[in-house]
Structure 1
Amino acid sequence: MIPPGLIVSAPASGTGKTTVTLGLARAFARAGTVVQAFKSGPDYIDPAFHRAATGRPSVNLDSWAMGAGQIAALIAAEMPAELVIAEGSMGLHDGVAAPGESGTGSSADLAALTGWPVVVVIDASGQAQTAGAVALGLARFRDDIRVAGVILNRVASPRHEALLRAGIEAAGLTVLGALPRLAAIEMPERHLGLVQAEEQADLDRILEAAADLVAQHCDLDAIRAAALPCRLHAAGHLPLPPPAERIALARDAAFSFVYPHLIAGWRAGGATILPFSPLADEGPDPSAGACWLPGGYPELHAPRLAAAQGFKRALNRFAETKPVHGECGGYMAMGAGLVAKDGTRHAMAGLLGLETSFAKRKMHLGYRLADLQTPAPGLPPRARGHEFHYATILSQPDAPLARVTDATGALVPETGSAKAFSGGGRATGSFFHLIAEAS
């Protein structure tokens, strides 16, 4: 049975909803409640923080890339639990212009699909009663979602809180908490978002501080009472089949962006995951039937990757007879070279002719629909995914992996690459991260 749930959302990014989500999750979990966290949208960093807060895996639920049946199946797969807390992405109603499998990717779409009420986090900096107008607009913009109440964040003083509460109450909404600014729980960021959970040695202290803050300044009983059961019913959705029975998976600080539901689906399909660390100069296990290089931060570790001769030799040997696939950072590491921010070129594995550069950063962000032109391990013929990086393509000489369009149907130049080897192996890569099969 799926327990009652809530979605933590906001008017915009940067309001503190991740801190509130983590604080709520840890506060309820340490009080003995079995909390299941989810992430609305394609963010691949936040789920690791959720897991640290709750002790349970967190999974992405994405209405643009996933159908309602898959979303229901992913929710059901993480049960049993006693309370669901899902973290939204961007602003509550923010999504793409054209809907995908079951929506536009907005947190509001997930709220409408599941029936989970929304707790709105408002950054109160620089405003007072106007916060009530903002909250009311979020609540009334769509009539198929329910706003359970508001948590005010970065409140400056008791007088400021009184004015904020007056505005929220005048809008007919409930104040569920009012949090003062606390620098001790602000987490460091870099160009793709928060610094990853596994890189933060101080993470448990931050989570405890966030839980203390939420427990002291929020009405936890009222928040839990506002949760409602999920209206979706588990369907017989089948996960994507694994690329092989034994999968060599690059996993370290340079290669860590892989969706949890993808790995869970591979394991459910009977696959064994064999992790290895390119940064430790390790190559893929020769017993594996396929190798997968996830995204991450190769640009931050380019000198070490260039010096990892054992990794590069082993990867090339593997690719002679077996398939290797890379996503975004993994794709760049499979290429011929990577130019760092300072203009220095670092030699990569050379499986593909791809040359990329961070010397002139340009953000590439958005959903992707890919129609494969050549088979790739673990990818369906038609795939939905997401792209987010700052790399510029200098050269992409190999055959294209797919015809790739954005959410509006416009072609994008990041087609990916494919190359076959004489021993029967092949190398494929893409800048998009696979989320789901497209209908």
Structure 2
Amino acid sequence: MLSRIDLRGRVPSPAELRAVLPRAETDVDAVMDRVRPLVEAIHHRGVDAALDFTEQFDNVRPAAIRVPAEELAKAERELDPAVRDALLESIKRARLVHAEQRRKDTTTQVVPGGTVTERWVPVQRVGLYAPGGLAVYPSSVVMNVVPAQTAGVESLVVCSPPQAGFGGLPHPTVLAACALLGVEEVWGIGGAQAVALLAYGGTDTDGTELTPVDMVTGPGNIYLTAAKRLLRGLIGIDAEAGPTEIAILADETADPVHVAADLISQAEHDTLAASVLVTTSEQLADAVDAALVGQVGATKHSSRVSTALSGKQSGCVLVSDIDTGLKVVDSYAAEHLEIQTADARAVAARVRNAGAVFIGAYSPVSLGDYCAGSNHVLPTSGCARHSSGLSVQTFLKGIHVVDYSQDALRDVASQVIALANAEDLPAHGQAVAARFESR
């Protein structure tokens, strides 16, 4: 089921690896011409335009954008007790992990009388997106809200697509997750129109102000990603998320049943989802293929899974040794990377590029999706080479505060003036000299 790339006996260069490794192809630019008019319409016509597009794309026209408080309370009240318990456990563990990420202000005395303080200030207002579409994602509510709250964000709003089957409201499990987290502001809007309305704000159908945000985070489809790209600058964004990915680095000690199940777990998301096995063992690769046949046929979304696993974004890469395997997975820079090898912890410690790393047979990606305490909003499409997943830091801004006394400035004045003149910016130097000239 998985196509194979045989790299045994050689160690390709980084450029070769980027060329041969499987990767989902998404062309955000290809949809920009469709998204730009939508964004402009919402800029000029606000909620009316947003509701028009919602009716067109989601086949429902909500009575209002903002979800009434009583609907949040109702969703929490009617939530399945088992799901409630699971969400509360997920929230508890996420809060434990994210609480350790909060940065502290630091002050450095550069010279006597001269200090630079780095203050960490939360973004004032953020929009957090929980996708709809093929699945329901209350877990994405947790993963967005917990770090924002921990960072001290003053005002946040969760957006999720309205559902025709639920009276034009977001899915009730999403609403219940918001209520459990103490989120009071939820908008029933999805896709590119959600990003545009978050960026520009507007007036709801009942006259309530929909205040624009400073940042938008959370994954979504290619149209939402295009809107993020188009509006970046007016708003901050976390990342341009592509299709989900799992890579598994495994040797002969791995259980093929576990490996197959984990590859399927990500393929379940989307027909464009990428599932990549990198292994030193051809026997394991054969056993995984055999296990996939049975497991794919038995899973609920077998057609979607089969399409994803047989697509060019998925595959099996055979390597001669673990060292080469590490080079391959570092080049691939997966959103999720599992290490299922002998001495997996030591191998994982050598990984440089991954959104999140899962060690051994009992740390599957599914655990990270829900209840590990880690965040599942992670870089895709190779962006783990240079970017991190969502965290408390996402919602914090570092501000340098400079505080120099007269004597401290006088001591360095000649150097400032020399550098200003070297850059042919004499007024910069004069701004310092003026403070010490006789009048």
Q: What interval of TM-score do these two structures reach, taking the shorter chain for normalisation?
A: under 0.3
Higher helix share: 2
Higher strand share: 1
Question: Quick check: which has more Rg, 1 or 2?
Answer: 2
